[in-house]
Structure 1
């Protein structure tokens, strides 16, 4: 099967969905510039024109409001925020409007909008341009949240998000944009709410999201050489979470390490910890361990960034501790 980089897998999903459905359109800052959104919008303006590839001023609230409003009117907008940080300006149309309309109208009114936020970590971008804020949206009823970690899932989950009849928050990480993987040429959908086992194992369940799946796989390969068998689960969807997959793995291994690129307090790892503790506590052989960002803003210094962002070595320490082969994290 042919291989594509992550960014071009997204690009192909956009081309295919916009070609097959005239109600699909893209709106956001910099969409006419392939560079601005990491080649994900390459060729769209030339093919579909400015009526369906709408480059906007810097006004996140207005852009998202247009997306929500046109979704209510029967369109299928994709609202792109090239920096997830500034989606905070759009919290009213996302949380107060899009997330609630289906419920408030008794299921008679849908809001088929994709809100696409890009995490831009590293590169000395500091605290205001590099935040992983996915946990904020997971907290909100009425929103689905997906975080693809591979080119295959980047395309398949974008297609699923566009086809969904209610709001989907699609969050990707620019660190993944050059990652290559097998991607079918045809249109396909990755089901929202279905995780996947990336590597089977028997000693520890290692749950990861987005870019951290790659670090988890790197860690598992190193640990395998030390005869530690790690099962790597890629959640793919943060809401809904694939509880069945999660619980069955933990029942098998009895140990769990949870890895996320966001902060620890009230984050994704806290929710997964609670789910495991509340539902299958009796299967645990050791306390749950989490690997996350420190509860501190991102530094601007590249030297400090190297310490700030969790890596495979941090995951390895956590796994060794949970199986009793390490003393500190």
Structure 2
């Protein structure tokens, strides 16, 4: 038989209600009483029955986190951060993979697993405002990813335009002027690729450099192969930039491979900046300068907002929260010491 609240109460010499208050972290417990109960908990090895606790509240204790591409290191790292943040609230995370397909995003959004989850954190690519407005489910939904929506749900996303401008400003400060952008996409203007391309244009213009659209290369996807192909296409047209700003780290890493194969030196001939600060960017033959979104903050905000709405108390209107980011300067733009950081004035904010 497992250790019960009654066992803990007897060991501590207090009521079962007092033990329950300590276990549930209620505020109105004196530090002395909390320490006394905690000592009994530690001595007996008591573990709360989280399943029973959630069931008493009409919950399953499970939240879902749906991402477009689990094989992408950024989403894998973000999923780990969401799992850690949810554990602080005694929630288990079910990770779902939409493959970036509209039909699967719609299916997840309409909660075909609503009988086993309490709420959903979703990073969509193809959903439109009308899709979200037509959502019939009443369980909480929090949106991640940099795509902007005008829908009545909390949204957590860094400021992509500002982050892109920071990356381009770094390259301009190094004296680079022919800065290519790899990873543009056709379609919706509020997709992350459009926002980062907008930041590229705005920062060049602000510096008095006319954006050269011949240096913008579209990609079919966001992987290493796409980056290698984009860099190859640019060089095969006889266009040799003096810097590259890539939509994400995977595209940047693919571009680095092509540059090495073509005998171009990084950063002497071409400086390269990525976006996401995935683990791989820190351990390549040439470490990658990159924009690092605050992934723990993104995860924490998403889980906190979901749990807040699950609690059922009064909450604010849907918010747009912008976690911070940093530019991590490494060898691909000339850092003499890997890990050198350039701080940014970005901080968590709601909006």
TM-score normalised per structure 2: 0.29
Bigger Cα Rg: 2
Instruction: Report which structure shows greater RCO (CA 8 Å, sep ≥6).
Output: 1
